[in-house]
Each structure stands twice: as C-alpha cells, then as structure tokens.
Amino acid sequence: MGTSTVRYPAELLRHFAEQVFIQFGVSQRDAQQAADVLIAADLRAIDSHGVARLKAYCDLLREGRLNPRPQVRVIRETASTATIDGDHGLGLIVGAAANAVALDKAEQIGTGWVTVCNSNHYGIAGYYVLQAAARGMIGWSMTNSNAMVVPLGGAERKFGTNPIAFAFPAGRQPPIVIDMSTSAVPFGKIEMARRRGESIPDGWGVDGDGRPTNDPAEIVAAGALLPLGSDAQHGGHKGSCLAAVVDMLCCVLSGANWGPYVQPFALNQTMPTRQVGKGLGHFFGAMRIDCFIEPDEFRRQADAWIHEIRSTRPAPGSDGPLIPGDPEREAEAARSHSGIPLIGPVIDELRQLSAQTGVPFDPLE
Amino acid sequence: MGTSTVRYPAELLRHFAEQVFIQFGVSQRDAQQAADVLIAADLRAIDSHGVARLKAYCDLLREGRLNPRPQVRVIRETASTATIDGDHGLGLIVGAAANAVALDKAEQIGTGWVTVCNSNHYGIAGYYVLQAAARGMIGWSMTNSNAMVVPLGGAERKFGTNPIAFAFPAGRQPPIVIDMSTSAVPFGKIEMARRRGESIPDGWGVDGDGRPTNDPAEIVAAGALLPLGSDAQHGGHKGSCLAAVVDMLCCVLSGANWGPYVQPFALNQTMPTRQVGKGLGHFFGAMRIDCFIEPDEFRRQADAWIHEIRSTRPAPGSDGPLIPGDPEREAEAARSHSGIPLIGPVIDELRQLSAQTGVPFDPLE
C-alpha cells in the first residue's frame, strides 16, 4: 500500500501547533515549548510522536483531563536531586521543566537527577537528552506510558513501551543519541501492519491469551506487545527488566502510577480500574563530563569510538552498523529543508483542529 | 549429555579462593573481598562467574598482568562523583572499592556516581547493586568486557557483553535485582552448545563473515554474539545501543579501553592490537531513596509492583513472569544449604590451583 503524503514546512506546523495549544488555554511560552517537542519528533522522522499526536493532546485538554496552566513544583530536593509534581500538565511542558532542573543541578554540582509524578505523555524521550548534549552534558531520560507490553511469560498488558534515552556529546562528530522503547517493536508497527492487512513476524506480540500471534489485529484488540528480546530463548526477560527499571525510577520513586495503572493517552482507550499514584512519571539525569574526565579527552575518545563502530566491516546485506542518532539527524537535515511529510489522516485531524479553534492551517490549498 | 557435578559447601570454596588469592600476593583483606564476589556468583547460580574463574584470575596474577596489591585511587572528585584508577588490580577488589565510594557519596549527599579505569573483570554486575540494596539504596552497576558481540549490521566483534545491573529495595518483598548482559545470550550458552555438539537457535550469533549461523563452533572460532534483540526486525539495534551506553559510561568517561580494545580475560585469547585507554572500565551509581520520596511509601509501592507483576496471568506453557532477582535468590537459599555444584573440569582446575599453591582443596576425597 503506498501511503501518499503532503510535505509541510516545519515552521508552519510549529506555528500551527503553538497557536492551537494557546486556543486550548496553554500560555504562549508553554505552547512554544510543547510545539517544539512535537516538531522535533517530526523533524527526526519519529512521525508517531509529532503533530500526529496534537489532536490527542487537545482532546485531553478539552475534556479537562490535562491542566493547561500547570504549576510545576519541586516537592522534594537535595543538591543533586529533585522530585517534581507536574500538576497534571502537558508532559511536553512538565518534561521540559523537570529536565531543565536536572541540567541546572548538574551544571551547579556535577550531576542532576529528577523524578516526576503527575505528568502526562512527554513526547519523544530523545528530545530531553538532546538538551543535555546541547549544554555539553551527558543526558538520560525515561518515561512510563500506558500498558501495552506483557512481562515475559505473562498474558496481560502490564508495562508501557517505557522508552529510555541517552545522549553523549562528541567532538567533531555529532552526539550519540539513543532513544529506544523497551518493547521488541513500537506499537505503531503493529497498527501499520493491521491497516495494511499484513501479517507480522514472530516475536512481536501475543494474543489475548498470551499466545504468540502473527495477526496484528489480535494484538490491537486484546493482545500485547512482547518485551525487547521477544522470548525466553532470546533474552525477552531483559526487555522486561528494562521496563521494570523505567517503572521504578519514573513512578515508584516519584509517586506516579506504574505498570497497568497508567492512564491511556487517547480518549477512546480503556481507563485503568484504579489509581496507585499521581499521573504519569518521568526520570531525567544529567552529568557534567568535566567532573569525571577532561572534556577534550572525552570528546576525542567519543569521536574515536564513533569512527571505530562506523567503520565496522558490514554483515552481508547490510550497510554496516549505524551510530545511534545518525538516522534521526539525517532526517532532521532533510526535513528542515524539504518539509515534513504528513499522511492524509493526520492532515484531516489538523484540519479538524483548525476548524475547532479557528487557527488557520492549510496555506497549501 | 548429563554433566555430573559434585557439591561443595560455599564456605569451603570461599576459604579456598581466599587462601589461593593470598598465595598470589593479594592481601588478606582483598582476598576476602575477591572471594566474596566469586562465591556470590556461585551461590546465585551464575556458575560461569564463580570459582570457575578463579584459575583465570590467578593466571593473570601469575603472569604479572594483574597487580596483586593495587593502590586504588580517586583521581577526580566532586560531591556526587568520582573517577577512580584501579591501578591494574583485580576487578573484584577495584569494583568493590569504587562501588563503596558511590555508596558513601550517596549516603552523604544523596547520589553517588563513579566511573573506573585501569581495572579488570569485576565478576557479576549484580554483586555491587546488592550492596546498595543492603544499605537501603538504589544501585546501578555496569562494566565493559572484551569484545564478543557485533554491533547490529556488523561482521566484527566490537562490543563486550557489557552487562547492566540495578537493584531496588522493597519492603516485605526482597529487592528487585536486575543483572543482564546486553547481548542476546551470554557466551557461556554458545560454549555449552559447542561442547555438546548441538546446534543453536537463530538470533544468537553470526559466523566470521557476519552471516547468521546455527553452529556454535563457528561463533567460538571467528564469529560473534548478536546484541539483545538479535536482528533488525526485533530491535537488535537496541542491544547495540545499550552496549554503547556501557562503553561510554565505563570507558570513555573514565579513560579505560572501550570496544574492541579491551584486554581479554583468559591468557589464551588474542590481545587487542593497541590500547586506547587504561585497563577495563566500570560505572557505579547509588541513589538515596529519601531524597526523592518517603522510603516507606517507596517500599510499599515496590511491594505492590512486585505483587502486581508476580500475579500476572501466565502465558500458555509458562509459570508466569519472574520478578528480577527471584531465581538467583532462590538458588542462593538452596545452595547455601546444600552446597555449590561444580562440574568436573572446574574441580580439576581447583585441584591444579591447590597443587600449585599448596592450599588444600579437597576434603571430600
């Protein structure tokens, strides 16, 4: 199935998202911040997390399930740590504010570690670590999300796709930027196969009884994704372990909902039976390199590491290993120039938002 | 193939390992420490990392490739961070000393982050995080190791199995203890299949040309392990990303050798062509829970999380999800009581060490 797309300039989409957020009661400054996270995803070709999600955020704002004017508060603090209550705000705003606290603490004392409760979906995990790299620091970012993944050996959704991100600055090379879910594949791959009527490979998901399935519709209906590693023979317990780390640092440590008690992102998804904490949780970390080693030496070795891995002899049929962050950076360069390709259903949603809010969208028509 | 074993009391093996280390010039106190790490692995049924490695450590000590009396030094330090030079000592000693610095810093200021260069293989990553949990803290531990794993898409060994460990204290429940390599399977599984003349599943490794293979002998001879996730379709790039995180935090940040430049553990393995840093690297972290949340609340929620995951409806043919750390803790309880089963080749090695050093080993004969 060929999905036709129309390309829109990033700045047009950024301005539109910003103005739409403002119409839903978000302050100018916060709307700018929120739009920046979404457009970063679109530029980096993580299409599922860009303006394709604008309507879902606005639905939650309209229904009062998100606070458009959150008072993001530090509720516990030491020199290198903080716990932040997001006041039920947009994760895109709460995440950025909390990450800034981690970065500021690291600049002041060497490292900063911030756990966050009472937030919501914060967009791409990679956005936050890029902020760290831009300030010359190592960045960490994690978030939980609503349950879509079985713990290995289980037949029920208990974990979110719980992504983990890291960034490491380099010297002449661009930073190493890692942004990975802890499931075998993202849910978007299942949804895309279902729409196309295609079967999916072994190791992606299970049906509602926890049996391996190749039918994406079964996963969407009542099944679940498998953790990274997929099965017992290939380290599927390790994906479960990583999801556990995210739940612990983002939720149990902050007082947020963990595991199956996280509220869903879209209005039409089933709500959890009860709450075990406040909202959704994140975790941010930042480390100043000069606390550990001469930054020049770090940058020189990071460059050498990148060169070493990039020059690995390729396996047959492969172009060789990728450096984490390369594909997204290349997409960003291309899309900054030639625009962001949107598929029809996303364009339709943005037009609906335009009609609802009066913010003009479609200068291309 | 049935591998017959003989059971030895843990305290007998501990005493033997300690006395053998002393014979190779290690101080009484350090020998105790080193033996404690090895016996912890044996008790926790991580047999590959217990007394089965005693001879390899002693070979390196005998050949002068390890310093029996290291002066472990903090070479850079802030309130929450340190960089430690292990003075080419046994990793079992350097790791414990560096981890203690991380724990002490966390107790004093809230978090502690320590990177280590000029060390050697430190045993099981889980040992160090158990120390954190015993002091009521969250613990992190990572180490690099000599290259056995391809970056996804590559045909050359570039990463160690680079394990990652975490521990999270709970309340009535035992702590959650995660200890996982970032390869699809540990090398021991390949070696065991080779000895048995069995083929191995898809997704474990590649031959010397980077082609998928089911022949463990090809992997041992010139091939490599695959990263966690195994292939492009199942998130194999994520295993590569995790290996990169370990290389960055343990080596580039400390000044240790990274990637393919790590010296091998056993005397008969090929040495890297050059050095890019000092020895092998580790990274330790510790976080005091009360800096983020009331410890009672954390413990209560951790217990609830464990209960939630443990009570997940099992997938067909499974007993249901395991809580990370459960199998190892159960093994420890059983083996503390009934002894540690050693296979013939390991017993032979220990007898050789006994003959070399004059330390009596075999009271069972």
DSSP for B91-106 reads HHHHHHHHHHHHHHHH
The answer to whether residue B178 neighbours chain A at the CB level (below 8 Å) is: yes
Contacts of B312 (CB under 8 A, 6+ apart): A150, A151, A153, A154, A155, A156, A158, B320, B321
User: How far, in Å, CA of A332 to CA of B29, rounded?
Assistant: 55
Of A151, A292, A308, the CB nearest to B312: A151
Mean pLDDT throughout A164-172?
98
User: How far, in Å, CA of A184 to CA of A168, rounded?
Assistant: 24
pLDDT tens digits for range A24-78: 999 999 999 999 999 999 999 999 899 999 999 999 999 999 999 999 999 999 9
A142 vs B85, B237, B308, CA distance in Å? Answer: 30, 18, 21
Structure tokens at A15: 């301005």
A115 vs A147, A248, A259, B86, B303, CA distance in Å? Answer: 20, 10, 16, 32, 19
Number of C-beta neighbours around residue A5 at 10 A: 15
- Which residue in B110, B105, B113 sits closest to B285, CA to CA? B113
pLDDT at B365 over 70: no
Are A228 and A238 in contact, with CB atoms under 8 Å apart? yes
**Chain B nearest CA to A178, separation (Å):** 6
Helix (H, G, I), strand (E, B) or coil at B202: coil
**Confidence class of residue B129 from pLDDT cuts 50, 70 and 90?**
very high
Strands (E), chain B: 5-8, 73-77, 81-85, 111-119, 137-143, 164-168, 176-180, 205-206, 224-225, 280-288, 340-343
**At A285, phi and psi to the nearest 5?**
-140, 150
**Confidence class of residue A231 from pLDDT cuts 50, 70 and 90?**
very high
- Which residue in A154, A156, A119 sits closest to A265, CA to CA? A119
**Chain A nearest CA to B241, separation (Å):** 6
Cross-strand partners of A340:
A8
Structure tokens at A59: 């639905």
**Chain A nearest CA to B58, separation (Å):** 31
Structure tokens at B236: 């194999």
Mean pLDDT throughout A271-291?
96
- Dihedral sign for Cα B344, B349, B350, B355, please: positive
**Whole-number pLDDT of residue A232:** 96
Structure tokens at A281: 């949780």
**Chain A nearest CA to B359, separation (Å):** 40
Helix (H, G, I), strand (E, B) or coil at B225: strand
pLDDT tens digits for range B18-70: 999 999 999 999 999 999 999 999 999 999 899 999 999 999 999 999 999 99
ipTM: 0.97
User: How far, in Å, CA of B29 to CA of A313, rounded?
Assistant: 46
The answer to whether residue A310 neighbours chain B at the CB level (below 8 Å) is: no
User: How far, in Å, CA of A53 to CA of A161, rounded?
Assistant: 17
pLDDT tens digits for range B294-352: 999 999 999 999 999 999 999 999 999 999 999 999 999 999 999 999 999 999 999 99
**Whole-number pLDDT of residue B363:** 63
Q: Which amino acid is at A337?
A: H
Mean pLDDT throughout B124-139?
98
Q: H/E element holding A224?
A: strand A224-225
**Whole-number pLDDT of residue A269:** 79
**Whole-number pLDDT of residue B362:** 75
pLDDT at B192 over 90: no
Structure tokens at B244: 């990169």
Ordered DSSP codes for B254-282: TT---GGGSPPSSTTSPPPS--SSSSEEE
User: How far, in Å, CA of B152 to CA of A317, rounded?
Assistant: 12
Structure tokens at A154: 């289980």
**Whole-number pLDDT of residue B1:** 42
Which residue from A minimizes the CA distance to B115? A292
The answer to whether residue B79 neighbours chain A at the CB level (below 8 Å) is: yes
* C-alpha radius of gyration, chain B, whole number: 20
B244·A309 Cβ contact <8 A? yes
pLDDT tens digits for range A69-116: 999 999 999 999 999 999 999 999 999 999 999 999 999 999 999 999
Q: Which residues of A touch B273 (CB under 8 A)?
A: none
A229·B233 Cβ contact <8 A? no
**Whole-number pLDDT of residue A365:** 52
**Whole-number pLDDT of residue A364:** 56
**Confidence class of residue A3 from pLDDT cuts 50, 70 and 90?**
low
Q: Enumerate residues 139 to 168 of chain B having a beta carbon within 8 A of any beta carbon in chain A.
A: 150-156, 158, 166, 168
The 10 Å CB-count burial string (b at 16+, else e) for B277-304 is bbbbbbbbbbbbbbbbbebeebbbbbeb
User: How far, in Å, CA of A22 to CA of A19, rounded?
Assistant: 5
Are B340 and A259 in contact, with CB atoms under 8 Å apart? no
pLDDT at B3 over 70: no
Q: Which residues of A touch B319 (CB under 8 A)?
A: 153
Tracing tokens 């430690």 back to the chain, one arrives at B84
pLDDT tens digits for range B248-299: 999 999 999 999 999 888 777 788 989 999 999 999 999 999 999 999 999 9
User: How far, in Å, CA of B152 to CA of B355, rounded?
Assistant: 45
User: How far, in Å, CA of B364 to CA of B13, rounded?
Assistant: 12
B244·A178 Cβ contact <8 A? yes
**Chain B nearest CA to A241, separation (Å):** 6
**Chain centre to alpha carbon of residue B250:** 14
Mean pLDDT throughout A290-317?
98
A79·B110 Cβ contact <8 A? yes
- Which residue in B181, B182, B180, B225 sits closest to B200, CA to CA? B225
* C-alpha radius of gyration, chain A, whole number: 20
**Confidence class of residue A188 from pLDDT cuts 50, 70 and 90?**
confident
Q: Which amino acid is at A317?
A: G
